Chains A and B, each alone.
Chain A
């Protein structure tokens, strides 16, 4: 077992998961010394009835929740100012973010504003610019989003905010909220979480505590993702995936983002593809390059990917290879389970050679640890699904 000479780990997030988890929120707010939460959501999640479920969960608590369900897909600072005024003027003292992606990012940035200096929010962008605990933040993940809602990252209006204090105090995972929108979105979100967990588990920043979160996340995704894509009624599978997203976010928050994350994120932007899908598609190719360079923990990855028996039976020198095969197989199975939707999107993107160069350059400029040629090679291999 890999034990670094020195490591640090911090995960302030409490996870409440399962039946009627939402009904626990009033007690949790009380423990956080908050009484008046503001629920923020996207319009379409609100129209799907998700906000009503939360409001219902507060019915017997005597707590009146505020609702703002107008978070757009690409929010900006104007929205933060608007939300800040609502929060301050109406005396809210906590934020509950329903759903992932832009809602979680908005909630985190709003929390910076209401906890500190609202006039200089972008001054907190960057690494570790936030120095103390912020106001209570609860995130209720759905199965749609970035896959790193429960992490120390917020990507907002072109800026990257990174601090452990941005992590929510509480992640509430309730089967009533984990209703998939469509199979591609569900798969993309889960693949982002998988990429984060895998890169944490196999990367150089690993330690026993990172491993514990990543291990559980990988195992849950491997066991449930294809089933959920095949049959959205798989309630236990959906709950497991949402759990895995939270766990992956905790692991991801304690390591530097990996190459699959960085390349996938840039590729998503450049090619207008779901970034999580790109991360997942690129992941086996990134790992393959790392295997060939040695020094990574990819053979250990077979344990959470394949389970105890398959891991123990496989000769040590073949484990890394088998781990990569399993990741490739997962992508194939996912595509089949989605009725071909996933590979159609991937092929239809028709990523040009120029685009590959552009993605590689940008990823290297934001710190991807391979050189440009290495990145291009991975992108090309993934494009052609070699």
Chain B
């Protein structure tokens, strides 16, 4: 563990985890001087019956000001503005976000508007534009993956102006995040698999990319261990409560790790596939993760090799010669994808050509790959990747990940 020349680390989010952690919400809100929360969520969460569980758990202690379930799969400025109005009309004093990444982003956006009394969210976009604490925000993740329940980031899209606004500030960090096994028990296997691999990619890139530090490392290692122990189990057996809790903790640990260390090319390419083809983020991460590790191997193979311990345990680690460990880690991640593919009846895609939409149509046509590579060139997340990539490098990686071939190491430009 090397000490970086300079680093910062911070996660002031209170974590409450358990099989009945929701019941702690009234006390937590009271400590924050709040008692009339607005619940922000989406139709899927409501449909799965999760809101009822939360309402039952908290209604003894708090008066719910409003329940808004109109958050779309992709955050949207108009919805943020509308819900901020609702918050004010109903006299709410705090927010509870229940859902995945888009719900968290939306709640953070609402919180900026209602706390700053703003009508133009744009004014607060970018890094560190917020100057004071916002209203109390509690997050309840219903997927175990994005980590946005513990990150200082929100992404809100203005679909009318075709703009994507990013907000980065420690004031966006929630006051508390509640991890309750009841919230992820009904997550379908394919989403469980994709979001779990999303968390794995956060942790692995946090550990192997350039902005790592001792605390992001220790959070990442713990996340990787929990994911290796639990992801396949809960995909095969969704009702495994202990496994669900393990995955939820892993998602938080991975979120804290990458929130404090940044990520690399797996995310760069993943963002781009998502934005050009609309593929869910977790699915992109699962496919790209082994390729990122292969591409960077000549720079950070010694770090990737260490991950064999949390991934495979002491016996495999000790029995594998040092120089074989890195290949073993990459092979293990491919095997995880294969096992998740089998456990989900083929719904968990191993390669981009296997990613299908609801109607069974290919979501990433091969001819889109140049567009994706072009988009990746404009993504800032590449800054902390160990090795540089230009357009041709991105395209080479995408083509391999589309077809499902390992990278040809001769084609990697070693700078």
- A: which residues have CB within 8 A of B? 1, 3-21, 30-31, 33, 131-132, 207-209, 211-213, 215-216, 219-220, 223, 236, 239-240, 243, 247, 308-309, 311-313, 316
Contacts and interface: CB of A to CB of B under 8 A. Distances in A.
B12 A14 contact: yes
Given A9-B14, A236-B3, A3 B246 contact: yes
Nearest to B219: A212
Contacts of B213: 17
Interface in B1-23: 1, 3-12, 14-21
B225 interface: yes
Contacts of B128: 31
A19 B8 CA distance: 11
A46 B406 CA distance: 60
B214 interface: yes
B1 A216 contact: yes
A31 B131 contact: yes
Nearest to A218: B218
B7 A18 contact: yes
B214 A11 contact: no
Contacts of B24: 8
B249 interface: yes
B121 interface: no
B306 interface: yes
Interface in B219-275: 219, 221-222, 225-226, 229, 242, 245-246, 249, 252-253, 256
A165 B15 CA distance: 16
Contacts of B6: 16-21
B214 A220 contact: yes
A264 B212 CA distance: 35
A131 B245 CA distance: 29
A212 B252 CA distance: 12
B215 interface: yes
B219 A7 contact: no
Contacts of B394: none
A16 B11 CA distance: 12
Contact of A1 (B3, B20, B225): B225
B242 A3 contact: yes
A312 to B, nearest CB: 4
Contacts of A311: 309, 314
B351 interface: no
B124 interface: no
Contacts of A16: 6-8
Contacts of A3: 226, 242, 245-246, 249
A223 B3 CA distance: 11
B215 A213 contact: yes
B17 A312 contact: no
Contact of A223 (B1, B15, B314): B1
Give the most central of B8, B170, B218: most A CB within 10 Å.
Answer: B218
Contacts of A223: 1
A156 to B, nearest CB: 24
Contacts of A247: 214-215
Nearest to B250: A208
B12 A12 contact: yes
A18 B213 CA distance: 11
A208 B226 contact: yes
Contact of B218 (A15, A213, A239, A309): A213
B312 to A, nearest CB: 10
Contact of B222 (A12, A15, A132, A208): A208
Contacts of A243: 3, 214
Contacts of B221: 215
B304 to A, nearest CB: 13
Nearest to B307: A308
A13 B8 CA distance: 11
Contacts of A14: 8-10, 12, 170
A240 B20 CA distance: 39
A104 B16 CA distance: 28
Given A1-B225, A211-B222, A6 B249 contact: no
B11 A5 contact: no
A212 B15 contact: no
Interface in B111-157: 128, 131-132
B387 interface: no
Contacts of B60: none
Q: Which 3 A-B pairs have the closest CB atoms?
A: A18-B6, A6-B18, A14-B10
Contact of A15 (B215, B225, B242, B253): B215
B214 A216 contact: yes
A195 to B, nearest CB: 19
Contacts of B132: 33
B8 to A, nearest CB: 5
A7 B252 CA distance: 13
Nearest to A164: B14
B19 A308 contact: no
Nearest to B17: A7
B234 to A, nearest CB: 13
A213 B217 CA distance: 10
B217 A216 contact: yes
A243 B318 CA distance: 30
A8 B309 contact: no
B193 to A, nearest CB: 20
B394 to A, nearest CB: 32
A21 B33 CA distance: 34
Given A6-B21, A212-B222, A308 B306 contact: yes
Nearest to A223: B1
B318 A312 contact: yes
Nearest to A1: B225
Nearest to B19: A5
B317 A312 contact: yes
A7 B315 CA distance: 30
A193 to B, nearest CB: 14
A224 B249 CA distance: 30
Contacts of B12: 10-14
A315 B139 CA distance: 42
B220 to A, nearest CB: 9
B322 to A, nearest CB: 8
A10 B14 contact: yes
Contacts of A131: 31
A208 B253 contact: yes
A16 B260 CA distance: 11
Nearest to A14: B10
Contacts of A13: 10, 12
A223 B9 CA distance: 21
A7 B248 CA distance: 13
A11 B306 CA distance: 28
A311 B306 CA distance: 12
Given A16-B8, A216-B217, A6 B19 contact: yes
A311 B310 CA distance: 12
Given A5-B19, A7-B18, A308-B317, 10 more contacts: A10-B15, A15-B9, A207-B17, A208-B226, A212-B222, A215-B218, A216-B1, A220-B3, A223-B1, A308-B306
Give the most central of A5, A20, A220, A308: most B CB within 10 Å.
Answer: A308
A158 B229 CA distance: 47
Contacts of B214: 216, 219-220, 243, 247
15 contacts: A6-B18, A6-B20, A6-B21, A7-B17, A14-B9, A15-B9, A17-B4, A17-B7, A17-B213, A21-B6, A33-B132, A216-B1, A220-B3, A243-B3, A312-B315
